[in-house]
Amino acid sequence: MTKKKEQSTMRIGLLGLGTVGTGVVKLLRENSDIINMKTGLNLEIAKVLVRDAKRPRPGVPEDLPITDDVREILADPSIKIVVEVMGGVEPARAYMIDALKAGKTVVTANKDVVSQYGKDLYAAGDVGDAELYFEASVGGGIPVIRPLKESMSANRMQKVMGIVNGTTNYILTQMSQFGRPYEEALREAQALGFAEADPTNDVQGYDAGRKLAILASIAFMSRVTPDQVFTEGITRVTPKDIEYGRRFGWTIKLLAIGKEVDGQIEARVHPAFVPSSHPLASVHGSLNAIFTEGDPVGETMFLGRGAGAGPTASAVVGDLISAALSKRTPGRRAGDACTCLFEKKVVDMGQVSAKYYLRLTSEDKPGVLAHITMAFGAEGVSIAQMVQGTGGDVATDDGKGELVLVTHTVKEAQMQRVVKRLNGIPEVLSVDNVIRVEA
Ligand SMILES: NC(=O)c1ccc[n+]([C@@H]2O[C@H](COP(=O)([O-])OP(=O)(O)OC[C@H]3O[C@@H](n4cnc5c(N)ncnc54)[C@H](OP(=O)(O)O)[C@@H]3O)[C@@H](O)[C@H]2O)c1
């Protein structure tokens, strides 16, 4: 005979009723039976905060208690858990701090606030039995925060590397599969609703940078903030580079890369070539994936939908259940305390090591190649592979030579110096692109 679950009702305050908020309401209504069967919990939405309470909201249950006064949630002692799905930094940050200080547990999907103000949030929650949950802030519906914090907590993590922005992955997939130029792929992504009218946050890598800050902080147990993450976007990637990469057996991705090397942290977001056999290479379209390496677990990959009402609500409500179980049994902390126990140095990008792909255009004259290879040699950068565009299936411009060089592993600073030297060679007309290669 199965043991009957202890029954309890938990009153929730929901901040925000947009894409994610309505997803949360729908999920709680539709799956309340299985949530109750599994946990004995009745998760009751006591109040929902919106900007404009008078606005008609088609599809939203009529009996949902909506307010535009946050005090109805923050000052109500019967509300034990606050779910923040408003987005933006203010007033979301302030509301979360106030809720935590009042002893309410906070569940949030807000990467902007968690990545920048995680320390303040934990400090605010430290005073009572308030906890902080933020599974949905990285990778939407993909469970990765809790696996890193709990399931894999016995490991020493060495790497956390992911495709954590669906917009850029969609654009790069379109460019790779159909040879579309960046601008065209972006316009299509905007028309289909995969990219915002102002795509800066996504295409420049800032969104991925915030998510990496969160992932790296947890994986390496040391706080990394967005300003410490090197970011480079996808706007300079061309179909030509993608085609050359294919010749080398590579696929291009916007990667968020966190590594611990000799006790220091690398945190960087940039386009990178990965071997086409790497698990991340086959993550296409708007999917997200996070690949990790730890000792002794080895390699693990988490794959799924990084956004959308349903997937994100799945993560939010999963957190909500953990939060409610923790509230029901005082002292049972669900392993969600801050794990940032160290203060490891985040290394300067110049000191990061990688292999590099470099494409340049030069005058097609005898002796030019010698000058170019000397520029590499002078900085101690050895060349692993070289392809001359002329005669290949990658087109070159009239009377000019195109050259692609791939280096062995070198420091970023060395490579930057090589680029400077190349730009000083009169026959080198342009250094067209430099892309890191992640093995
Ligand atoms: N959308 C996704 O797929 C996804 C995935 C992962 C994480 N997230 C994160 O989830 C959060 C919410 O995203 P979303 O797409 O659901 O946003 P959204 O559709 O823009 O909805 C925001 C909601 O918050 C309310 N709101 C905003 N500012 C407010 C304020 N100052 N006072 C009161 N209410 C306010 C809005 O009220 P009104 O309805 O009155 O305007 C709206 O209901 C963000 O942090 C986002 O990064 C989203």
CATH code where residue 265 lies: 3.30.360.10
Whole-number Å distance, alpha carbon 87 to ligand 1 midpoint, is: 5
Q: What φ, ψ does residue 102 adopt, rounded to 5°?
A: -85, 5
Q: Judge if the beta carbon of residue 140 lies within 6 A of ligand 1.
A: yes
Q: In whole angstroms, what is the distance from residue 411 CA to residue 427 CA?
A: 26
Residue 335 falls inside a structural domain:
no
What percentage of the chain carries pLDDT values higher than 90? Answer: 90
| Same-domain status, 322 and 296 | no
| Same-domain status, 248 and 324 | no
Question: What is the per-residue pLDDT for 180?
Answer: 96
| Same-domain status, 97 and 72 | yes
pTM score of the predicted model: 0.96
Question: What is the per-residue pLDDT for 421?
Answer: 98
Residue 340 falls inside a structural domain:
no
pLDDT class of 398 with cuts at 50, 70, 90: low
Question: What is the per-residue pLDDT for 392?
Answer: 43
Residue 334 falls inside a structural domain:
no
Question: What is the per-residue pLDDT for 333?
Answer: 63
Q: Judge if the beta carbon of residue 96 lies within 6 A of ligand 1.
A: no
**423 C-beta neighbours (distance < 10 Å), count:** 12
| Residue nearest (by alpha carbon) to ligand 1 atom 27 | 86
User: Residue holding tokens 């953990």?
Assistant: 322
Bridge partners of residue 346, in order along the sequence: 265
Tokens representing residue 113 in the block: 């606030």
Q: In whole angstroms, what is the distance from residue 16 CA to residue 315 CA?
A: 16
Residue 29 falls inside a structural domain:
yes
For residue range 333-346, list pLDDT tens digits in order.
Answer: 655 678 889 999 99
- The parent domain of residue 400 ranges over 350-437
Q: What is the CATH number of the domain that holds 43?
A: 3.40.50.720
Provide mean pLDDT across the span 219-240: 97
Q: Judge if the beta carbon of residue 275 lies within 6 A of ligand 1.
A: no
DSSP helix/strand/coil, 374: helix
**Nearest atom in ligand 1 to 140's CA:** 6
Residue 356 falls inside a structural domain:
yes
**Nearest atom in ligand 1 to 307's CA:** 3
Q: In whole angstroms, what is the distance from residue 390 CA to residue 180 CA?
A: 22
| Same-domain status, 210 and 130 | no
Catalytic residue among 80, 111, 149, 211: 211
Q: Judge if the beta carbon of residue 53 lies within 6 A of ligand 1.
A: no
Question: What is the per-residue pLDDT for 394?
Answer: 47
Asked whether the predicted pLDDT for residue 391 surpasses 80, the reply is no
| Same-domain status, 187 and 131 | no
Beta strands in 58-198 (DSSP E): 66-67, 79-84, 105-108, 132-133, 156-163
What percentage of the chain carries pLDDT values higher than 70? Answer: 96
| Same-domain status, 249 and 375 | no
Contact (Cβ atoms closer than 8 angstroms) between residue 125 and residue 132? yes
| Residue nearest (by alpha carbon) to ligand 1 atom 44 | 87
Domains in the chain: how many in total? 3
Angle between helical axes of 368-378 and 412-423 (0-180°, round to 10): 150
Active site includes 211? yes
| Residue nearest (by alpha carbon) to ligand 1 atom 41 | 51
| Same-domain status, 256 and 314 | no
| Same-domain status, 301 and 313 | no
Q: In whole angstroms, what is the distance from residue 213 CA to residue 190 CA?
A: 26
Q: What is the CATH number of the domain that holds 390?
A: 3.30.70.260
Whole-number Å distance, alpha carbon 220 to ligand 1 midpoint, is: 30
Contacts (Cβ under 8 Å, ≥6 apart) of 264: 344, 345, 346, 347
